[in-house]
Amino acid sequence: MRLDSVQNNRVMHTAGQIPVAFADVDASAWRDFARTAHTEGGRLIAVWGTETAGSIRSVSAAYECVDGVLWVRLTVDDSYPDLSRLFPYANRMQRAIYDLTGLRAHGAQDERPWLNHGNWPRDYFPLLKEASGIERFESRETDYPFVQVAGDGVHEIAVGPIHAGVIEPGHFRFSVVGEKVLRLEERLGYVHRGVERLFECTPALNGHRLAGRIAGDSTVAFAWAYCMALEQACQIEVPAYALRIRALLLERERVANHLGDLGALGNDAGFAFGLAHFSRLKEDWIRMNDRVFGHRYLMDRIVPGGVAVGVTPEHVDAMRDQCEKMSRDVRALRQIYDEQSGLQDRFSGTGRLSADAAAHFGVRGMAARASGRPFDVRAAMRVEPYGAVHVEPASDTRGDVAARVAVRFAEIDESLRLIQAWLAGPANGLLSVDVVPGDEAARGVGWVEGWRGDVFVALEIDADGAIARCHCHDPSWQNWPALEHAIIGNIVPDFPLINKSFNLNYAGHDL
């Protein structure tokens, strides 16, 4: 599906922004757009509900097109046509919409609560205007009707929601025979934070700070996506130098996370040597972040209109040297990983996700590229400064843990190459421009290839320049159901390894 096939307003593609078409539709056209996207191989990026001033409620869907994003909006009373029969991964998004707004997907087969665990009444919807957002309710944790598997020798193993360490809560219900997994079902949403309601209380020019705190490991991706959406809504073009710095930050975030994951994956397979060395490399990398940009994890470095800090010639030389050393060290460690027979025995064939399954669940990002579906927003959309370089998406067809490890190694190599290319450009330039909301309501979209996958932000600004609605979407919404599929047929002890190979986001999934 292409944007030029949509007979509606078209936002032209300017530097640093995603092309987007908006379509306000009726229920019939809502179905038609969904069927067309499905038939033509498009992907549903996100679906979300909104109540604006005057108690006007609507549901929106964002579709991935060949040349950008299509935002379809349907005004509704209390229900809208179900999308999950065409896009199965819409199911949990639709259940979340009901819990937050009371809007029901008409015809949906699964209407179990998703975010409401009994911590607020079933007739209370926190995103409606009548809800103040500060109500307090007595928690009455409800039983969740997990799908059960029957048969001789089948039993259930319940894991979580509380886990060791500091990770977010999530419940995993395994149906097994012996140690072989027949089915896994997840239950998430235990610490719903009310982020989307907080956006409505946040000035538009400060929204990037909230977006950057949705998920600490993706602060650059979420902040850039928010700023991209705001700049599109305000028709602002970001300076070329600032866009280069943004991309530099994003690639440094990608490298840091892949380094950490490669060490953790080695450790989960009993290879502590890998954890020790990759932890050292990651620590060196994020110390350089602090030295150059003033924050180890690069929080609040991206701001509306540009960036908060540039780089000096001294910092350029230091990062170049670090990239060269990192490339050598990672290459040496990859050879060790490839030649370690015990490690490869655990990786190969474990947690396989086929290309067809990845398409069925709408998987994107690293997990999809490891299953032969190499889509990458950087390469496909060529938003500046990526338009000035050729991004080669990493790809593997095996779909197992070994493939997801190989894709991480390849993406580190590509990110280091991109960083070196941008460091070769001018070491100074305009850091930012002023962003001034207009005097009319406006919408904007941000879409950024984070290290885990594509991060999406849909922003609505009212006529006063305030945030009317901001919906942020993490790729984990699509990838969590795919993880349930990838574990089938494996043994229970391999779940931590498979889980880490996807490394999905609890926080970004539970706003």
pLDDT tens, the chain, 511 aa long:
788 777 655 555 577 899 999 999 999 999 999 999 999 989 999 999 999 877 899 999 999 999 999 999 999 999 999 999 999 999 999 999 999 999 999 999 999 999 999 989 989 999 999 988 788 888 787 889 999 999 999 999 999 898 887 788 999 999 999 999 999 999 999 988 999 999 999 999 999 999 999 999 999 999 999 999 999 999 999 999 999 999 999 999 999 999 999 999 999 999 999 999 999 999 999 999 999 999 999 999 999 999 999 999 999 999 999 999 999 999 999 999 999 999 999 999 999 999 999 999 999 999 999 999 999 999 999 999 999 999 999 999 999 999 999 999 999 999 999 999 999 988 889 999 999 988 899 999 999 999 999 999 999 999 999 999 999 999 999 999 999 999 999 999 999 999 999 999 998 888 8
The CATH number of the domain where 40 resides is what? 3.30.460.80
- The per-residue pLDDT for 163 is 86
Residue 442, classed as helix, strand or coil, is strand
b/e per residue 145-168 (b: at least 16 CB within 10 A): ebeeeeeeeeeeeeebbeeeeeeb
Based on the fold, state whether residues 290 and 322 are members of the same structural domain: yes
Q: Are 1 and 37 in contact (CB under 8 A)?
A: yes
Domain count, the chain: 4
Based on the fold, state whether residues 118 and 66 are members of the same structural domain: yes
Distance CA 133, CA 131 (A): 6
Q: Which residue has the tokens 């229900």?
A: 79
Cis peptide before 169 (omega within 30 of 0): no
What stretch of H or E contains 50?
A: strand 43-52
Residue 112 structure tokens: 């179990």
- The per-residue pLDDT for 166 is 79
Sign of CA dihedral 436, 440, 441, 443: negative
The CATH number of the domain where 489 resides is what? 3.30.390
Q: Which residue has the tokens 């598997």?
A: 149
Based on the fold, state whether residues 283 and 428 are members of the same structural domain: yes
Q: Which residues lie below 8 Å from residue 449, measured CB to CB, with a gap of 6+? A: 221, 250, 365, 376, 377, 378, 455
Based on the fold, state whether residues 152 and 219 are members of the same structural domain: no
Based on the fold, state whether residues 27 and 111 are members of the same structural domain: yes
Based on the fold, state whether residues 120 and 183 are members of the same structural domain: no
Residue 341 structure tokens: 């027979």
User: Which residue range(s) make up the domain with 156?
Assistant: 148-191+476-511
Residue 64 structure tokens: 């991935």
- Which residue, of 409, 434, 459, is where some domain finishes? 434
The CATH number of the domain where 346 resides is what? 1.10.645.10
Based on the fold, state whether residues 373 and 444 are members of the same structural domain: no
| DSSP one-letter code for 475 | T
- Tell me the one-letter amino acid at 34: A
Show the DSSP H helices in 371-488 as ranges.
Answer: 377-381, 401-423, 476-486
Based on the fold, state whether residues 171 and 212 are members of the same structural domain: no
Based on the fold, state whether residues 398 and 467 are members of the same structural domain: no
Based on the fold, state whether residues 375 and 459 are members of the same structural domain: no
- From the list 263, 303, 265, 255, the residue with the least C-alpha distance to 280 is 263
Based on the fold, state whether residues 187 and 203 are members of the same structural domain: no
Based on the fold, state whether residues 426 and 401 are members of the same structural domain: yes
Residue 25, classed as helix, strand or coil, is strand
- The per-residue pLDDT for 186 is 96
- The per-residue pLDDT for 10 is 54
- The per-residue pLDDT for 507 is 87
Q: Are 30 and 74 in contact (CB under 8 A)?
A: yes
